[in-house]
Amino acid sequence: MKTCATVFTIGWGAALAFGWIALAAPASESAGMQTLNMMLAALGAGAGMWSWLRIRRGC
């Protein structure tokens, strides 16, 4: 349960942080960096959602 809770917190934190970086990036930011930030945000959201589903089932 503790591992799932840790992954939940880190996953959603990464989703919020990298999502904000992707949205607030200046127009001069390279497309590669923008894509990387969006991919990291999606990966964090996926980890957060997966761990939340595991916590709901009792991990």
- pLDDT, one tens digit per residue, over 12-50 is 999 999 999 999 999 898 999 999 999 999 999 999 999
pLDDT > 80? residue 59? no
Q: What is the pTM of this model?
A: 0.86
pLDDT at residue 1 is higher than 90: no
Residue 58 has pLDDT above 90, yes or no: no
**Considering the chain, what percentage of its residues have pLDDT values greater than 70?**
100
- Terminal CA-to-CA distance of the chain, rounded, Å? 5
Looking at residue 27, its pLDDT comes to: 87
Contact between 16 and 47 (Cβ < 8 Å): no
CA 21 to chain centroid:
12
